[in-house]
Amino acid sequence: MTQHAAIEAIDVARTYALDGVSVPALRGVTLTIAHGEHVAVVGPSGSGKSTLMHLLGGLDQPTSGRLRIGGRDVAGLTAAEMAHLRNATIGFVFQSFHLLSRTSALDNVALPLVYRGLGARERREQAARMLERVGLSHRIGHRPNQLSGGEQQRVAIARALVTEPAVLLADEPTGNLDQATGAAVLELLEQLNTAEGVAVVLVTHDREVAARARRQITMRDGRVVSDTADDAETASDAGEVPR
């Protein structure tokens, strides 16, 4: 049986109405994220990369074009169906962590499992295992204000992975971290990608961060202007060995 792509966008556009004026944020983007890929989406502010991430994660829907997540076309899905698809398929990591400030690391990580109807004990057991995998088993009872920035981001990564998603979408995950801590977070994402086979899509404006990914997609003015996957395919068609 042929496995679906993790995410597939076909000629996707997104236009917003601001004060009665149509503002295009994405202009006909076509790309596929395969299972197990490690992708960086790079571009200047306003290039459309964060809008693309929101679409790929099902947080928004395209104005036109087709978007499939886990093989399902998102067009026509109800809000409840879309939320279920996100919970089953996508994990999110953001620059600002988005942790509940008065809640322990354990319960922050367990939160997505509430929507799966798991009991409290099972949620906490799974969350504890995930915190151990990201090296924070000794911090499970700590609240976010008792953790360093790097530890908070690790909690956010554990929360994103506790539902065992096919794709982890990370929007500027090192933006609020110092260079050494940011490098450690990137290494963790890379280890999870390699060891667990989770597709990682990293949105960044930092070319050095993007260079660590096996595939780089560059955006400008709402369009994909380059994709190293296309370069590799062209080289393969020409009989060259991609470097």
pLDDT tens digits, 129-139: 999 999 999 99
User: Residue 231 — very low, low, confident or very high, per pLDDT cuts 50/70/90?
Assistant: low
Q: What does the alpha-carbon distance between residue 201 and residue 184 come to, in Å, rounded to a whole number?
A: 17
The mean pLDDT of 18-29, rounded to a whole number, is: 92
User: Which CATH superfamily, name and number, covers 7-95+167-237?
Assistant: P-loop containing nucleotide triphosphate hydrolases (3.40.50.300)
* DSSP state letters, the chain: -PPPPSEEEEEEEEEEEETTEEEEEEEEEEEEE-TT-EEEEE--TTSSHHHHHHHHTTSS--SEEEEEETTEE-TT--HHHHHHHHHHHEEEEETT----TTS-HHHHHHHHHHTTT--HHHHHHHHHHHHHHTT-GGGTT--GGGS-HHHHHHHHHHHHHTT--SEEEEESTTTTS-HHHHHHHHHHHHHHHHHH--EEEEEES-HHHHHTSSEEEEEETTEEEEEHHHHHHHHHHTT----
Mean pLDDT over the full length of the chain: 90
Q: What does the alpha-carbon distance between residue 83 and residue 36 come to, in Å, rounded to a whole number?
A: 23
Query: Does residue 2 carry a pLDDT above 60?
Result: no
User: Residue 94 — very low, low, confident or very high, per pLDDT cuts 50/70/90?
Assistant: confident
The mean pLDDT of 169-191, rounded to a whole number, is: 91
Percent of the chain's residues with pLDDT above 90? 75
